[in-house]
Amino acid sequence: MKYKCQVCGYVYNPEVGNPGNGISPGTAFADLPDDWVCPVCGATKDEFKPEV
């Protein structure tokens, strides 16, 4: 499932991960570190909602 930042619209796709920030492809959103932030705007994980 993809998660969308409610602040800027960035979509975290677990199939892609976030390699620029050390997150390997295949990393589920729930498995992201608690201190992970949106790579675009810096929003925290609680600003993300599942994309429908």
Annotation-wise, does 8 bind a ligand? yes
Annotation-wise, does 5 bind a ligand? yes
Annotation-wise, does 41 bind a ligand? yes
Cα–Cα dist 32/43, whole Å: 14
3-class DSSP assignment, residue 5: strand
Task: Please enumerate in sequence order all residues whose Cβ is within 8 A of that of 30, keeping only pairs 6 or more positions apart, or say none.
Answer: none
| Annotation: binding site | 5, 8, 38, 41
Tell me the binding residues for Fe cation. 5, 8, 38, 41
